[in-house]
Amino acid sequence: MKRKVKAVSGLFIVVSVLGLAVLVALHHMNSKGLEIVKTEDRSIGVKMSGIHYSSTRDGKTEWVLDAKSATTFKMGEKTIFDTVRLVFFASDASTYKLTAKEGRVDESTGEVRVEGDVRVTSMDGTYSLKTERLDYSSELKSFSTDDAVSIVAGGMDVTGIGLMIDIDKGLLKIDKEIRAVLNDAL
């Protein structure tokens, strides 16, 4: 009998502590401007605004995402972000900022897709890229697209179709219709 009372008391304490932790977390998120919106759409898990999201590997931050709002879906592990700003941290300590109208994160794979007026700039200002869609592979640490791209870097303007950038290796490849213009520095 005493064992049952102890087991029930222990279970009650654990459930109470977990419930308190959830309430504190929700209060903390709401105090930071996070708004959770209830929806009638049964496919949507949660809608939120004022998002700050990051990905780490081996204790190091790979990227940080800020967005105006986010919608998570019950089926699959996908989240759609509105008005996206991503900051990527390369292993050579280079930092890149990406902005776009919309982004999607597949939480099971760490894959990110951004679309709509996509712009990537190096934080030191030496490099910028414009396109309509860009994918980021967390596993490969690379960007890619099949769309038209425009790159400005080191006195050179480059345009083309299709792109692959390996962040850690510092490699950039444009697939086709490549046009490069060298600008004279006077």
pLDDT digits (tens, 9 = 90+) for 114-164: 999 999 898 888 889 999 999 988 788 888 999 999 999 888 899 999 999
Q: Six-digit token pair at 142?
A: 């690379």
Q: Compute the chain's Rg from CA coordinates.
A: 22
Q: What is the pTM of this model?
A: 0.65
Query: Cα–Cα distance between 99 and 54 in angstroms, integer?
Result: 15
- Give the torsion through C-alpha atoms of 145, 59, 28, 112, to 10 deg: 10
Alpha-carbon distance 182 to 56, whole Å? 38
CA separation for the pair 165, 140 (Å, rounded)? 10
Q: What is the tens place of the pLDDT at every residue in 50-77?
A: 888 788 888 888 888 888 988 887 666 7
Q: What six digits make up the tokens of 39?
A: 């929806």
* Confidence label for 19 from pLDDT (cuts 50, 70 and 90): very low
